[in-house]
Structure 1
Amino acid sequence: MNGWFLAAGLTASGVAAVHIAAGHRDVVRPLLSCGLADEPRRVLHVVWHMVSVDLVLSAAALLYLAPADDTSATGPVAWFVAAHFVAYTAAFLVVTLSVGWPRPLLRLPQWMLLLPVAVLTVAGAV
């Protein structure tokens, strides 16, 4: 059993749950009721759902890898998932820090949920 992958998978499951529950309330509802033109609004709605699916599948992949003891067999998938969460973290940090908000790291704190999944996954892959 790879405890790191198990911890990463459980954390990623939590991230997916937070994304789906809080994201629907705080992002999707306001997005769907805003004055944005219909096509961009619907594209953003689909993108939100794509991220939901991506987070759930990533969590499932990590939980699937957890019982394996051989990192040579699980490594490529684990490194892909880790890179994926690093990229999501970086995207949130770049966007947040480029806006010029006061205390920007707390305005869009999603990076704080995403980074631990990457770190735990890397720990399990090495």
Structure 2
Amino acid sequence: MNGWLLAAGITALGVAAVHIVGGRRDVVRPLLSCGIADEPKRVLHAVWHMVSVDLVLSGLVLLRLSLTGSTPGTDLVAWFVAAHFIAYATAFLVVTLSVGWPRPLLRLPQWILLLPVAVLAAAGAA
């Protein structure tokens, strides 16, 4: 068993749970009740669901990899998931820092949840 990948998978599923529960309350409900046009509203709603699925599947893949041992392709998939979460964290950091808010790193703190998954998955792949 690969403990790093196990920790990454559990953390990713925790991130998915926070995204689904917290995001529904703090992002989806306000989005659906705002006055923007229906098409962009529904696209953003679908993207939120896509991210939900992506986070859950990534967590499940990491859990599976943690149990399979070092089989061919395990490291490659783990590195892919690590890169994936680094990209997500980077996107939140770039958007947050480009707005010019005071204390920007705490306004959109999603990167704080995403980065540990990347680090744990990378440690498990190495």
Alignment TM-score > 0.5, same fold: yes
Residue aligned with 1:118, SS:
helix
Distance in 1 separating the partners of 2:32 and 2:59: 27
Residue aligned with 1:66, SS:
helix
Distance in 1 separating the partners of 2:108 and 2:71: 34
Q: Return 4-13 or 61-70, whichever deviates more.
A: 61-70
CA deviations 1:52-71 (Å, max 9, x no partner) are: 00000000000000112216
Would the aligned equivalents of 1:12 and 1:59 in 2 still touch at CA under 8 Å? yes
Q: CA RMSD in A?
A: 0.9
Residue aligned with 2:67, SS:
coil
Percentage of matched positions with identical amino acids: 77
Matches within 5 A, 1:1-126: 1-70=1-70, 72-126=72-126
Distance in 1 separating the partners of 2:2 and 2:63: 10
Would the aligned equivalents of 1:96 and 1:108 in 2 still touch at CA under 8 Å? yes
CA deviations 1:72-125 (Å, max 9, x no partner) are: 530111011000000000000000000000000000000000000000000000
Residue aligned with 1:102, SS:
coil
Matched residues, number: 126
Distance in 2 separating the partners of 1:102 and 1:72: 47
Residue aligned with 2:68, SS:
coil
Alignment gaps of 5+ in structure 1: none
**Equivalent AA in structure 1 for residue 30 of structure 2:** P
TM-score (norm 1): 0.98
Q: Decide whether aligned partners of structure 1 residues 96 and 71 sit closer, same or farther in structure 2, where only a CA change above 3 A counts.
A: farther
Distance in 1 separating the partners of 2:71 and 2:119: 16
Distance in 1 separating the partners of 2:88 and 2:71: 24
**Equivalent AA in structure 1 for residue 44 of structure 2:** L
Q: Decide whether aligned partners of structure 1 residues 79 and 34 sit closer, same or farther in structure 2, where only a CA change above 3 A counts.
A: same
